[in-house]
């Protein structure tokens, strides 16, 4: 990952040099390079948020919340049971 | 296996989020399961959720880490893993199927509904119960290196293997490996076997790294194998040498096991899938191995009836399995109720000549006769008929230890009377053994053999005749002496 950052910083520097010759503002240049690097990293190194930080665990670690939600869900959905015609060992 | 409450199936243990407990908890939920954690409602949050991200393709979930480090080949082998692909199952059905492509398409659809749901996956072994038994997290999503046997092995392999192994069939003891040694499934079925061989197979017994008895039980060598804890009892009994590569281990060491018959599948009026099988039956049958290979050279193997019928898919399409009559319904089996002593290994004659143990055309329905023709054991005359070259075949068979003549140390079994019945015979000169059983010991200490009713040369004469003979000899001498004495006395008087 460090290598990738160095690589992008290097590309960014080259880009800013070429842009400075073209007369674009230096603040804008650095902003664009930063956005490009950030976007690339967030797509290619997505393991940045662990399960602990996920909002999923708020419900899935709480027995009370799950009981409430699943009872409501079960009441609203028809219960799928095994066919009464099944006979014998599976 | 106790069923789970709906909430228990999806309840995550907070330990899962602790890096020290499970590193997998450091990966965000949606990374594997999808969905939208930022959504406001439960329905929106679960939109696009993947229940089992490891099925059918595990390379994107498990493989992301396990391809490169740790277990480089496990995720790669996933696609050919028989627990995932059920490949032999499909192939065996198509072996019976009608060649018509349209019919085969219908069969594929029906199998998808009724048969192919019984698969597993990385997740359905290491994280949750298999979906075929209604799923549910095991240990609150904490990844289990070794899947628990009760929730993840016998939950699928329960009706036959599980019940046999745990002794849950009435009157049939549990497997000695479970009962005596408390061994679990993984003791024989290693992770390496479970993750597959990396090859597709026609038959699950073709898998090279499958469980084998001989992995633990070796033939007795000069080095004592018992010293190694992982080794089982060494194969010291001469029967192992005699039957090696001819008879499978289970033929002597398994007891009655479950056989299933017939199967029909369909959908009821509500569109719910059903199956119907005939009542199962406990039985023990030895059949011919229809396809001996270098890996499985045994001629005689235990065979189990499988739940199949030519009318299996009649609900969906008529004449689906037109080739059913050509594929055996009694299949090679490895019952999981191994015992050291079994009814058929009590004596040689408990098996040899015991026609009830062998599969014949009398054991199958008429349509199965052709299908099992290569599995039926050809009729062999009774042992006393096969030994009719002996003077008294029944006497020899019941009173003699078979191993005296069928000694594996001999190049060929004894077939000449003089080999035993002569003063310089093999029996008198070579049949060494422990002193109490030695036939070379003339002190008659082989009384235990006689006590068992076994024949020992020279030991079974009639004792009364010996006494009478001795009395006659003594009386003769006594008579002569008396006569001589009387003559001597009468002469002196004259």
Q: Does A68 touch chain B (CB under 8 A)?
A: no
Mean pLDDT calculated for residue range B457-484: 84
Indicate the pTM of the whole model.
Answer: 0.78
The reply to whether residue A54 touches residue B30, judged by beta carbons under 8 angstroms, is yes
Which residue of chain A comes nearest to B18, CA vs CA?
Answer: A52
Q: Does B25 touch chain A (CB under 8 A)?
A: yes
Nearest CB partner across the interface for A51, out of B25, B159, B273 = B25
Radius of gyration for chain A, computed over Cα atoms and rounded to the nearest angstrom: 27
Q: Determine the pLDDT at residue B284.
A: 98
- Kind and range of the H or E run holding B303: strand B300-305
B71 Cβ neighbours under 8 A, 6+ residues apart: B195
Mean pLDDT calculated for residue range B412-419: 84
CA distance A74 to B4: 15
- Tokens coding B473: 């000899």
On chain B, the residues whose CB falls within 8 A of the CB of A82 are 272, 274
CA distance B280 to B300: 23
The reply to whether residue A88 touches residue B28, judged by beta carbons under 8 angstroms, is no
CA distance B149 to B162: 9
The reply to whether residue A47 touches residue B27, judged by beta carbons under 8 angstroms, is yes
> Domain spans of chain B?
1-80+119-155, 383-451, 463-494
Q: Does B37 touch chain A (CB under 8 A)?
A: yes
Q: Does A56 touch chain B (CB under 8 A)?
A: yes
Mean pLDDT calculated for residue range A15-41: 65
- Tokens coding B463: 């004792």
On chain B, the residues whose CB falls within 8 A of the CB of A66 are 7, 10-11
| ipTM at complex level | 0.71
Q: Does A52 touch chain B (CB under 8 A)?
A: yes
pLDDT confidence band for B448 (50 / 70 / 90): low
Q: Chain-wide mean pLDDT for chain B?
A: 88
Residues in chain B: 494
Q: What b/e readout covers B211-241, taking b as 16+ CB neighbours within 10 angstroms?
A: eeeeebeeeeeeeebeeeeeebebbeeebbe
Q: Determine the pLDDT at residue B445.
A: 46
Q: Does A55 touch chain B (CB under 8 A)?
A: yes
On chain A, the residues whose CB falls within 8 A of the CB of B273 are 83
DSSP strand pairing (B300-305 vs B286-288) = antiparallel
Lowest-pLDDT range of A19-33, B202-216, B329-343: A19-33
Closest Cα in chain B, distance from residue A81 (Å): 8
B376 has pLDDT over 80: yes
- Kind and range of the H or E run holding B112: helix B101-114
Calculate helix-pair angle for A26-44, A2-22, nearest 10 degrees.
Answer: 150
Q: Does A80 touch chain B (CB under 8 A)?
A: yes
B38 has pLDDT over 80: yes
Query: Could you tell me how many CB contacts below 8 A there are between chain A and chain B?
Result: 98
Q: In 3D, which of B130, B172, B165 has the Cα closest to residue B151? A: B130
- Residue pair B301/B359 in contact (Cβ under 8 Å)? The answer is no
Q: Does A1 touch chain B (CB under 8 A)?
A: no
Nearest CB partner across the interface for B17, out of A52, A74, A83 = A52
Residues in chain A: 90
Mean pLDDT calculated for residue range B364-369: 94
What is the DSSP secondary structure assignment for residue B422, as one 8-state letter? S
Q: Which residues pair with B79 in a beta bridge?
A: none
Q: Does A44 touch chain B (CB under 8 A)?
A: no
Which residue of chain B comes nearest to A80, CA vs CA?
Answer: B272
Q: Determine the pLDDT at residue A4.
A: 47
The reply to whether residue B37 touches residue A67, judged by beta carbons under 8 angstroms, is no
Radius of gyration for chain B, computed over Cα atoms and rounded to the nearest angstrom: 33
Q: Which residues pair with B304 in a beta bridge?
A: B331
Which residue of chain A comes nearest to B267, CA vs CA?
Answer: A83
CA distance B56 to B202: 20
């Amino acid at each position: 990952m460090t290598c990738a950052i160095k690589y992008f910083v290097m590309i960014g520097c080259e880009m800013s040099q070429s842009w400075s010759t073209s007369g674009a503002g230096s603040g804008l240049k650095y902003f664009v390079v930063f956005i490009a690097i950030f976007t690339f990293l967030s797509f290619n190194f997505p393991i940045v948020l662990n399960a602990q930080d996920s909002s999923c665990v708020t419900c899935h670690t709480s027995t009370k919340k799950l009981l409430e939600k699943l009872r409501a869900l079960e009441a609203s959905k028809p219960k799928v049971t095994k066919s009464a015609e099944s006979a014998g060992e599976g | 296996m106790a069923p789970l409450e709906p909430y228990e199936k999806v309840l995550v243990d907070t330990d899962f989020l602790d890096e020290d407990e499970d590193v997998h908890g450091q990966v965000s939920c949606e990374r594997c399961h999808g969905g939208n954690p930022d959504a406001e409602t439960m329905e929106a949050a679960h939109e696009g959720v993947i229940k089992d991200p490891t099925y059918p393709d595990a390379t994107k979930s498990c493989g992301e880490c396990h391809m490169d480090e740790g277990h480089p080949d496990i995720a790669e082998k996933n696609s050919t893993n028989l627990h995932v692909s059920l490949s032999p199952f499909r192939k065996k059905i198509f072996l019976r199927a009608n060649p018509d492509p349209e019919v085969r398409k219908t069969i594929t659809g029906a199998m998808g509904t009724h048969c192919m749901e019984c698969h597993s996956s990385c997740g359905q072994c290491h994280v949750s119960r298999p979906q075929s038994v209604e799923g549910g997290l095991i240990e609150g999503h904490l990844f289990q290196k070794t899947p628990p046997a009760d929730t993840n092995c016998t939950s699928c392999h329960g009706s036959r293997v599980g019940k046999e192994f745990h002794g849950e069939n009435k009157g049939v003891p549990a497997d000695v490996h479970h009962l005596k040694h408390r061994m679990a499934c993984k003791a024989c079925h290693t992770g390496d076997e479970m993750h597959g061989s990396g090859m597709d197979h026609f038959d699950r017994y073709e898998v090279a790294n499958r469980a084998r008895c001989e992995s633990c039980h070796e033939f007795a060598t000069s080095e004592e194998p018992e010293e190694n804890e992982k080794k089982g009892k060494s194969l010291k009994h001469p029967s192992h040498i005699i039957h090696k590569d001819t008879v499978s281990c289970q033929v002597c060491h398994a007891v009655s096991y479950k056989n299933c018959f017939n199967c029909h599948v369909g959908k009821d009026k509500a569109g719910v899938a059903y199956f119907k099988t005939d009542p199962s039956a406990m039985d023990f049958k030895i059949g011919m191995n229809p396809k001996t290979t270098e890996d499985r050279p045994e001629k005689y193997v235990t065979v189990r009836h499988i739940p199949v019928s030519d009318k299996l898919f009649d609900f969906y399409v008529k004449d689906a399995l037109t080739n059913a009559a050509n594929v055996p319904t009694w299949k090679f089996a490895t019952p999981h109720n191994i015992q050291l002593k079994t009814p058929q290994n009590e004596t040689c004659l408990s098996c040899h000549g015991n026609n009830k143990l062998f599969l014949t055309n009398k054991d199958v329905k008429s349509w199965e006769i052709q299908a099992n023709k290569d599995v039926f054991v050809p009729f062999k005359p009774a042992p006393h008929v096969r030994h009719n070259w002996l003077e008294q075949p029944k006497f020899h068979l019941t009173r003699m230890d078979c191993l005296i003549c069928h000694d594996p140390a001999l190049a060929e079994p004894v077939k000449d009377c003089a080999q035993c019945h002569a003063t310089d015979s093999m029996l008198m000169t070579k049949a060494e053994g422990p002193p109490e059983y030695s036939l070379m010991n003339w002190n008659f200490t082989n009384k235990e053999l006689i006590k068992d009713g076994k024949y020992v040369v020279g030991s079974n004469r009639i004792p009364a005749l010996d006494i009478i003979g001795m009395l006659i000899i003594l009386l003769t001498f006594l008579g002569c002496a008396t006569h001589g004495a009387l003559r001597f006395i009468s002469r002196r008087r004259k």
